Amino acid sequence: PKDGPVLLDSIDPHVPEHIRLNHTNKLIVHGYGGSIDFNATKMIRKAYLRKPNTNVFIVDWGKLSRLPCYPTAAFNTKQAGECTATFLIGLQANHPEFSTRDLHAIGFSLGAHVLSFTSNALEKSIGVKFRRITGLDPALPFFATARPHWKLDQGDADFVDVIHTNAGVYGKIETCGHVDFYMNGGQNQPGCENDQNPMACSHHRAPDYYAESIRSLTGFWGWSCQSYVYYLLGFCPQNNAQVIAGEDCPTGTEGMFMITTNPASPFAIGRCDIDQWGKLDSSFNNVDHFPTPYSQDPNHQGSQGGEDDEWPYFNHVGTSDLTKEHIRKILEQDKSRYSGDASFRFINDPAAPLALNKSYDPTLPTKFVIHGWKNSIVSPVSQNIKNSYLRREDMNVIVVDWGPLASDTLYFRAASSTRDVGRHVGGLIDRMVAERGTNLNDLHIIGHSLGAHTSGFAGQSIRSGKAARVTGLDPALPGFTDQQPDKLLDPSDAQFVDVMHTCAGMLGHDRNLGHVDFWPNGGRVNQPGCGGIDDFVGACSHGRSYEFYAESVTRPAAFKAYPCRSAEEYREAKCRSNSIPMGDATPNTARGNHFLET
């Protein structure tokens, strides 16, 4: 109401007589770290209150979604949703003119999933569910592979419309509703590139766009696209099949739509103007129109009849058609980046003699270091581990630079390239064995995040035997939820596979992937020294894995880990014996789960 908010009892709510519940009713649910006083949906509430005959209900579950414990907030969405259902049932019982069924529910981030639980609880208790739910960039962490009843989906209302603004990072990338709108590609929003936290800024654009849509005369108009893969390939030019997103989205709309916006408010730019041919001259999504080297043949094999790739199909070029010319083009995109203190740089051209420098000594141990998304040869993960080894002893350290692919803003496209990068590394190792006498028993591959799975694929690809060891440092979770061993890092990739988890369930994988798995500080966010906005989705905790590992190289006894059945048992001191070192000094006989504190 205009005279200020009214606090209603959550079980037996009674609304003041001057509030007409037979008007339009809106329910808004904030996300992680929000409250009625501080939340990203504040502008939505203000916009609705400027409309006549509109009531706005705000669900304040701030005590259950407090910073810095995101995992707790994520699991509390179920409780918040069921409590909201109890409130609505009570409201309808006390005020027969109020219709829970006709309530339009809007949820941001975790709040979108809260509404899923609310609608499911309503249907179970009184046999009705919402007519419409609007999801604003529904949260991804802990909801990446959730079953339908544990996330927002089409079954939660007669009509579910979803706006994606940070897909694959803070928000879900797959379609969640009857209609899904991907703003500016759905991941990185214009105007956020110079923000202190561009990803959080992009995530919060969803409620900003929606709030503007409530009163905008211009509107956010999107054009249809068959799938997100088609978008990545540049197969979704603007067309005349346009639909408005936000408050005025027509119920009954189905499909996927792409929308572009201005970088600052007012964000809406209206309908797209299409020329008479229905074409655009440029690639609106900045996807190059040449074949990518990370793909699967549509017939599930290379043109030479190679083995089934079983990897997401991105274009018509098969994996076994990966050419040396294309590899060279990728690796030579920016030679200026190789100006560090590395002894030498070489490109592995299968058609040319092996370019290893004479300083390479096959009688010494050989380490491969493989970075992850948005990293390169000069990134801390590459340099810290390399420098720690070279400070300790004389050995061969080869840092794999797949930066031109890993730097792709579209995370899932970078993820899809890990298999081919791994095969390229495996092919190099086979050449080193054949041409330089490298001993696989002295070969160790270390990878962080996406690089951990790349390391596994490299191990799988070695034809001359098995590498002695593969170490996975917080292997990436998004894009690698498949349970089949050949789709991600697993114990068969080397004689010994050890894995360190520091952001499990968010950026890092949450299940056992090695012969031995280490879970420092429980393996999840927030790792000591991490927290707040910098660890909103675990970026700081994710990076702790390579920091721990780099330290372990020069301090082999620094991280004592104990075999336990669970983190709870470790915290209760039920398993504080038979410790082994975590990190470089981990013995290859280690098996099972080990826990420690740092």
Q: Which residues contact 126 (CB under 8 A, 6 or more apart)?
A: 89, 92, 100
CB 227 within 8 A of CB 242: no
Structure tokens at 133: 């739910």
Secondary structure of residue 510 in the 3-state scheme: coil
Structure tokens at 131: 């007519």
CB 436 within 8 A of CB 420: no
Cis peptide before 68, with omega less than 30 degrees from 0?
yes
Beta strands in 340-468 (DSSP E): 366-370, 396-400, 443-448
Cross-strand pairs, 397? 367
Cα(397)–Cα(383) distance, integer angstroms: 11
CB-count exposure of residue 53 (10 Å: 0-12, 13-18, 19+): exposed
Residue for token pair 């304040």? 60
Cα(223)–Cα(257) distance, integer angstroms: 5
Which positions are annotated as active-site residues? 449, 474, 542
CB 449 within 8 A of CB 372: yes
Residue for token pair 């030479």? 304
Residues in the chain: 598
Cα(28)–Cα(87) distance, integer angstroms: 14
Closest CA to 225 of 284, 289, 269: 284
